[in-house]
Structures are given as C-alpha cells and as structure tokens.
Structure 1
Amino acid sequence: MAIVIVGVALIICIFVTILVIVFKLSKEDIKLQVVASCEGKNELEQAVIKIYFTFSIGKLVSRKKEILGSIDWSEGWMPVSYNLKEQGVYQEERLLVSKDEDTYATFEFDATNAVDAQGQGEGYVVLVLENPTNVTSFRAGIVLAVTANMVTYQLSESTSWNHEFVVNH
C-alpha cells in the first residue's frame, strides 16, 4: 500500500513539475519592449518623440485574438499619431486623440495584419512637447491587452528620457 501512495505522489510531482516548466517557457514567448527616440522638432518648433514598441504574443498567434493598445505619457506632451507595421510594412499614420484624459489614449490593432506568423509585431506612437514644463525627466508607457480564447493577457513596458535628450536633438 505504501508503494502505491509513493508512486501516486511521485507521478503528481512529475506532472506538476512539467506544468511549471511549460508555463514558464511559454510565458517567455509573450513580451513587449519600448524605446523612445527623439526625432527633432516639427514645423511649430515643438520637440517630437517617437515611442517605438515591439511585441511578441508567442503561441497565441494561432488563436483567434483581439489586441488593444494604449499609451500614457508625461504632462506637457501631446499624442499626435500612431503607426503599426502591417503585413511587414508601416502603413499610413493614424491620428491619436486622447478622450477626456490628458495623459492616456488607446489605439486599435487589426490583429490579423499587425502580427506576423511568428506572433511578432511592431509600431510607434508620436508625441510632441506641447506645453514645456520645468520637469527634467519624462516617461511614456505602452500597454497591450491581448485577448485570446476569452483570456486577456496584459503586456506593459515604459521608457523614459530626460530634458537634455530633447534639447540636444
């Protein structure tokens, strides 16, 4: 009887270990990276920052999915547009307007075109410095909500830059 109990406990331990390893390996497939790039000034002499993001949704690529993106940014900055790489190339920039919020906006993905066969995609959001402030450090964060099979995975990452980064470009 003791051999049966030990055998069952051993099988349960092996099964749990396999599940933990598979979960950790599949979690590494889902990721988001964000980088800020100073693009100089526009025709109104406003500083322009592009927030580039790349993401991977791993094995979720084979499932029916919906993706919603959002960006939040530091005070003084204003969103202008966003662009997503669809079917391997950047398409036309789309206007990005914040609604009822001064530092938050959402944007939509066409999950079919914005994610390649490996589950990867990329895009960028353009911000301009509309109201300069005395703040010396700025930040922007991207959040992607990927819904597949009625489960939502949230990816978030942020980047920051200082005032000198903007002034020197």
Structure 2
Amino acid sequence: MAIIIMGIVLFICVITVALVLMKKLSKNEIMLEVTATSEGKNELDQAIMKIYFTYSIGKLASRKRQILGSVEWSDGWMPVSYNLKENGVYREERLLYATKNQSYSTFEIHAPNAIDDQGRGEGYAVLVLENPDISHRSSRAGVILAVTANMITYQLSDSTSWHNEVVIN
C-alpha cells in the first residue's frame, strides 16, 4: 500500500515540476524591453534621446498577424523619427507625427520583414527636447505594441526613464 501511495505522490511531483518548468520557459516567448540612450545634441542644441525596444511575439510569429506600435513620452519632448530592423538590418528612418497636445505617436510594423524566424524584432524611436523644464527631475518614454493574431489582440508595454540633468547639461 505504501508503494502505491509513494507512486502517486511521485507522479504528482513530476507533473507539478513539469508544469512549473513549462510556465517558466513560456514566459520568455512574449516580451517587450525598452531602454533609452542619450545621443547628445542636434544642430539646434536640442537634447536627443533614442528609445530602443526589443520584442518577441513567440508562437504568434507563425500566425497571420498585425502589429501596431505606439511611443509615448513626457512633456517637453517631441518625436522625430523611428526605425525598425527589417530583414536583419536597420533601413531608413521614418517620421513620427504628433500634434502639440499629444504625448504619443503610433506606427505600423510590417511583420514579415520586421520579425525574424524566432518571432523577435527590434527598433528605436528618436525624441528631441523642445521645451526644457528643469523643474521636472526626470522624463520617461514608453513603447506599447498591440499584436493581433487570429482576431485576438495581445498588448505588450514597457517604459524607461532618465534624469533630465544628465541630458540637458
């Protein structure tokens, strides 16, 4: 009787460990990571920040999908352009548009060119500091990706922040 109980307990432990490992391994399939890098100043003496983003859509890469991206930023910053790595290389920068009252801009990701065989991709957005406001100690920028596959939309988001004193000086 003890052998049967030990067998059942062992079976339950093996199943539990397998489920936990599957859950941990599948977490890394769909992700978005955002970082910011100061690129100095442009010819108008405006600070430039590049907002890099890397993403993975995991198993969704094998399905028919549409991907929309959105970049948002703090007051004082304005978007200039964005670029996506397509077929393994960065091509041309495209303009990002926003009105004075907006704090975000959207763009489309052409999935067949911008996603590799493993479902990963990367890009960046360029922001310039138009209205420096020293009273704000830090600024932030975020990226949101909406991946629609088989009529279901998955939303990924991440953001980063930086100290304005480093960028302004």
TM-score (norm 1): 0.84
Q: Is the 8 A contact 1:145 1:153 kept in 2?
A: yes
SS of the residue corresponding to residue 43 of structure 2 reads coil
Shift of 1:32: 0.6
- Equivalent residues of 2:81, 2:93 under 8 A apart: yes
Q: CA deviation at 1:28?
A: 2.6
Unmatched tracts of structure 1, length 5 or more: 1-13
Over 3 Å counting, the alpha-carbon distance change for 1:148 and 1:15 in structure 2 is: farther
Q: Percent of aligned positions with the same letter in both sequences?
A: 65
Partner secondary structure for residue 60 of structure 1: helix
The amino acid across from 1:148 in the alignment is A
Change (3 A) 1:65 1:101: farther
Q: Is the 8 A contact 1:99 1:105 kept in 2?
A: no
Deviation at 1:27, TM superposition (A): 3.6
Match of 1:123 in 2: 123
String of CA shifts for 1:115-152, please: whole Å, max 9, x gaps. Answer: 00011000000000001112110000100011111111
User: CA–CA distance in 1 between the matches of 2:122 and 2:101?
Assistant: 25
> Which amino acid is 2:45 matched to?
E
User: How many aligned positions are there?
Assistant: 158
Structure 2 counterpart of 1:139? 140
Cα distance in 2 for residues equivalent to 1:59 and 1:157? 20
State the distance in 1 between where 2:51 and 2:144 align.
12
| TM-score (norm: length of structure 2) | 0.84
Give yes or no for the alignment of 1:64 onto 2:44.
no
Q: Could you say what the CA RMSD is over the residues aligned between the two structures, in angstroms? A: 2.3
Measure, in 2, the Cα distance between the counterparts of 1:59 and 1:114.
Answer: 15
Structure 2: gaps of 5 or more residues: 1-13
